[in-house]
Amino acid sequence: MSLWQSRGMQTADFMTALARDGAAFSAACEVAGMDAPVPSCPEWTVADLMWHLAEVHDFWTVVVRDRVEYPDAYVEPERPPAADLPAFYRDRLAGVVEVLSAADPAQQNWTWTADHSAGFVQRRMAHETAMHLTDAQAAAGLALSVEPELASDGIDEFLEYFRSRSTDAPAAGGSVHLHCTDVAGEWTVREVDGERLVTREHAKGDCALRGPASDLLLVLWRRVPLSAADVVGDAEVAARFVAYANLD
């Protein structure tokens, strides 16, 4: 368990968030309708979004339940017709909540990171589901929002696991400080000799992004524009920082 988790969210918190946001996702999809476009996922309809999250839940259920060592062991289920997708999704949500809630966070299984633990999956599924909830909210014309404590932890997870998944976009070219204004959460990201260093501290950067945790997380995941945060200092550094991460 990371230092951030030990002083903040625990496994039970992630499981509560997964169940809550998973149910809210289903409700938002039904409001939007299966044929509605998803603004944050170009070329996807709500049906595509619901299928994606159902399949993701199913995949990680199998990985943790069967202690899978290689992802090729997973067999993808057949996609059901759109009319059957809500029931299919709810079944997969119930399955992933049940399996992950029962798993020891220290259990070893495959993940795409150096952290090959069920604890990584428990945390990741809470954040994956929360972010896709905002996609469904956007499709339904609802306000986008992530629960503040979960959003703060999501910023930490993003900086640890997704900030380094770079594209061909230029590096930020300066230091960035992120500061949640509604719950605990501060980070400073520096580039030193080509390496990106993240510290959980209050420090002055070339630019700062300030705002509610949900807004900052949605900016990082490019679900809302940079203008949703209060940007102080070098705005070009901030823009490059947000554009840099590979979100695929």
Q: Pick from 21-25, 73-77, 192-196, 198-202 the range whose average pLDDT is largest.
A: 21-25
Least confident of 72-76, 99-103, 232-236: 72-76
| Tokens 């809500």, located at residue | 86
Which of 3.40.50.1100, 3.10.20.30, 3.30.1300.10, 1.20.120.450 is the CATH number of 3-144? 1.20.120.450
Contact partners, residue 122, CB within 8 Å, separation at least 6: 11, 14, 15, 18, 100, 103, 105
Strand partners for 198: 189
Please determine, for residue 84, whether its predicted confidence score (pLDDT) is greater than 50. yes
Distance CA 231, CA 248 (A): 25
Query: In 3-state terms, what secondary structure has residue 246?
Result: coil
- The amino acid at residue 35 is D
Give φ, ψ of 238 to 5 degrees: -60, -45
Segments of the chain assigned to CATH 1.20.120.450: 3-144
Taking only the tens place, the pLDDT of each residue in 197-228 is 889 988 889 999 999 999 999 999 999 999 99
**Model pLDDT for residues 89-142, shown as the tens digit of each residue:** 999 999 999 999 999 999 999 999 999 999 999 999 999 999 999 999 999 999
> Which ranges of 33-147 does DSSP label H, i.e. alpha helix?
46-65, 85-102, 118-140
Task: Report residue 120 as tokens.
Answer: 């990584």
Task: Report the helix count and the strand count for the chain, using DSSP H and E.
Answer: 8, 5
Average pLDDT, the chain: 92
More reliable by pLDDT, 210 or 164 = 210
How large a percentage of the chain has pLDDT more than 70? Answer: 93
* HSE-up (13 A, CA, CB side) for residue 46: 24
- Domain 149-244, CATH homologous superfamily name and number: SCP2 sterol-binding domain (3.30.1050.10)
- Note the pLDDT of residue 2: 42
Q: What are the distances in angstroms from CA 33 to CA 25, 146, 239?
A: 12, 22, 34
107 and 64 Cβ atoms separated by less than 8 Å: yes
**Portions of the chain given CATH number 3.30.1050.10:** 149-244
Q: How far is CA 138 from CA 89, 90, 106, 180, 205, in A?
A: 19, 20, 36, 23, 32
Residue 4: pLDDT band by 50, 70, 90 thresholds?
Answer: very low
pLDDT higher at 243 or 44: 44
pLDDT of 193 above 50: yes
State the Cα–Cα distance between residues 225 and 62, nearest whole angstrom.
Answer: 36
